[in-house]
Amino acid sequence: MRRLIGGRGAWLLCLALLAGCTTLPPVEHGEGLRPDDVERFTLEGKVAWVHPEGRGNANLTWRQNGEDFSLLLTGPLGQGAVRLEQDADGVRLETPEGPHYADHADTLLADALGFTIPVAQARWWVLGLPAPAEVAGAVRIHGRDEHDRPVDLEQDGWRIAWSDRRLVEGRAMPRRVQLERAGTRLTLVVGAWTLNDRPDTGSP
């Protein structure tokens, strides 16, 4: 399972179409709390990536419930769907070829995509926050906006940038997140957020 959707044209088209995928109001005049208290969230969006071995894009549904999560990546017309899950039973990746298991989520997702994504750290990064030091090490902040929110930082070898924050349930949530390290670049554009929703009785 390498590159869910390939091709330069598809990747560029994906990023071009993302600009109009949300109706959430922009953050203005210092509105919006930091999402430090968000333990559960669901985001719907699109992700595009470029790395030394290729490029691709996919639709993304990410559900986080404390330490447990479910990431569903699907391509146009449902091609190449993969689901990465972590719960009390461990970490597994569901693909059309069947389930795969490993000790770490990063290992499984690297097998599917061909490059590593720091899943544990990205739980905070997608919220617009640096990850805790015990998870991802020290933070080096390169820039803040006029409301003292970070817009550009380095952590665990990754450069993370946020832009176009939107007001969601009283919190300033990034609509666009970019991660970059050693020739790998991921761009996430979020179309919808649900924060601190009621936890599911089953998998997240």
| Closest among 63, 76, 32 to 126, alpha carbons compared | 63
| 61 occurs within a structural domain | yes
Position with higher pLDDT, 20 vs 182: 182
Q: How many Å apart are CA 38 and CA 20, to the nearest integer? A: 26
Structure tokens at 187: 């761009």
89 domain-assigned: yes
Q: What is the pLDDT of residue 160?
A: 98
Q: What is the pTM of this model?
A: 0.82
* Distance between first and last Cα of the chain: 23
Domain contains 106 = yes
- Per the prediction, the chain carries an average pLDDT of 82
pLDDT recorded at residue 44: 96
* CA dist list (Å): 201 to 12, 25, 94, 198: 39, 32, 20, 9
Number of other residues whose CB lies within 10 A of the CB of residue 93: 22
Domain count, the chain: 1
More confident residue, 7 or 158: 158
d(C-alpha 160, C-alpha 80), whole Å: 27
Q: What is the pLDDT of residues 146-201, one digit of tens each?
A: 888 899 999 999 999 999 999 999 999 999 999 999 999 999 999 999 998 754 43
pLDDT band at 111 (very low <50, low <70, confident <90, very high): confident
Contact of 21 with 46, CB cutoff 8 Å? yes
Q: How confident is the model at residue 39 (pLDDT cuts 50, 70, 90)?
A: very high
Mean pLDDT, residues 92-97 taken together: 86
Q: How far apart are CA 190 and CA 194, in angstroms?
A: 11
50 vs 200 pLDDT, higher one = 50
Contact between 154 and 142 under an 8 Å Cβ cutoff? The reply is yes
Closest CA to 108 of 80, 78, 88, 83: 83
Residue 204 falls within a domain, yes or no?
no
Residue 1 lies in a domain: no
d(CA 100, CA 81): 14
Name the residue range of residue 158's domain.
8-25+37-195
Of 16 and 96, the one with more pLDDT: 96
Nearest one of 59, 89, 79, 80 to 71, comparing CA atoms: 59
Q: What is the CATH number of the domain that holds 160?
A: 2.50.20.10
